[in-house]
């Protein structure tokens, strides 16, 4: 189907783009997520004790995302079919990657929570309001340490090695340039140990991942002991 205007932006969700339905984006809102605050109010003390950053970073609730689109079609029956198709496309899946054209190189992990459609008979259009519940951070599509120069962002990205040859003991410092800690996938050719923040982690041969081993925001110095190759695979997350 051809349209009398150029559709510039929208989003892709479970393999379908809003352009496929001729949806023209009119408004997008992505407010910052609310923080999960943990405070203790002590009598006769000014202010409160704030334990929200006990783990070294701020913790957030899921965030709402909302979009308003218009679809123009003078055919009433066609608009009714579009309404049914849109609701079934968006409301069936659970949490899935949501690729917003505004956030190039990133995606949201989101679930559609509502599709509100108004049929404007006089104008021959549908006004579509779509809402999502999303993980608070948008995730990079490319892993850290990638060498795709055309996609490198000098303000947000960091050029660093993520694969190393270990012969005995090796000191490295991985930088997490994101807004929250992340759990890397570690791939080693032989069993090794990693000492980080005065804790020793045993890394089995092959590919492994553990919630107890996290790369905190900023620098992550560590000492690796073993013989062979080790690779860290992780993706930056931004607020």
Tell me the per-residue pLDDT of 123-150, one tens digit each, with 9 for 90 and over: 888 999 999 999 999 999 999 988 766 6
Q: Are residues 121 and 58 in the same domain?
A: yes
The distance in angstroms from the start CA to the end CA of the chain is 37
Q: Are residues 135 and 155 in the same domain?
A: no
Joined together, the tokens standing for residue 62 give 């899921």
Q: Determine which of 81-90, 113-122, 153-162, 195-204 has the lowest per-residue pLDDT on average.
A: 153-162
**pLDDT of 41 strictly over 80:** no
Joined together, the tokens standing for residue 157 give 């990205």
Residue 69 in contact with residue 25, Cβ under 8 Å?
A: yes
Tell me the per-residue pLDDT of 58-98, one tens digit each, with 9 for 90 and over: 889 999 999 999 998 878 888 899 999 999 999 999 999 99
Residue 1 lies in a domain: no
Number of domains within the chain? 2
In sequence order, the 6+-apart residues with CB closer than 8 A to the CB of 232 are: 144, 145, 162, 163, 174, 184, 185, 186, 215
Joined together, the tokens standing for residue 150 give 């055309």
Domain region containing 136: 11-140
> In CATH, what number is assigned to the domain containing residue 177?
2.60.120
Q: Are residues 135 and 205 in the same domain?
A: no
Residue 41 DSSP symbol: P
Give pTM, 2 decimals.
0.86
Across the strands, what pairs with 202? 193
Residue 4 lies in a domain: no
Residue 6 lies in a domain: no
The last residue of one of the domains, among 140, 159, 190, is 140
| Residue 35 backbone phi and psi in degrees, to 5 | -80, 145
Residue 41 in contact with residue 48, Cβ under 8 Å?
A: yes
Residue 169 in contact with residue 224, Cβ under 8 Å?
A: yes
The pLDDT value recorded for residue 148 is 67
**pLDDT of 234 strictly over 90:** yes
Q: Are residues 126 and 176 in the same domain?
A: no
> In CATH, what number is assigned to the domain containing residue 126?
2.40.30.200
């Amino acid at each position: 189907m051809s349209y009398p205007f150029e559709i510039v932006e929208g989003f892709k969700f479970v393999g379908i783009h809003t352009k496929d339905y001729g949806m023209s984006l009119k408004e997008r809102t992505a407010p910052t997520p609310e923080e999960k605050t943990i405070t203790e109010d002590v009598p006769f003390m000014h202010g409160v004790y704030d334990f929200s950053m006990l783990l070294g970073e701020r913790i957030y609730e899921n965030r709402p995302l909302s979009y308003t689109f218009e679809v123009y079609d003078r055919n009433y029956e066609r608009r009714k079919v579009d309404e049914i198709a849109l609701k079934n496309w968006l409301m069936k899946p659970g949490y899935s990657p949501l690729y917003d054209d505004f956030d190039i190189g990133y995606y949201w992990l989101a679930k559609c929570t509502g599709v509100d459609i108004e049929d404007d008979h006089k104008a021959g259009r549908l006004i579509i309001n779509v809402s999502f519940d999303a993980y608070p951070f948008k995730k990079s599509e490319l892993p850290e340490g990638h060498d795709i120069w055309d996609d490198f962002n000098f303000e947000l990205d960091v050029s660093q090695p993520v694969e190393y040859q270990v012969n005995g003991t090796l000191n490295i410092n991985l930088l997490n340039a994101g807004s929250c800690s992340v759990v890397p996938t570690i791939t080693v050719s032989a069993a090794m140990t990693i000492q980080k923040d005065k804790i020793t982690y045993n890394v089995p041969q092959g590919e492994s991942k553990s919630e107890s081993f996290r790369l905190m925001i900023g620098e992550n110095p560590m000492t690796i002991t073993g013989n062979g190759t080790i690779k860290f695979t992780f993706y930056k997350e931004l607020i």
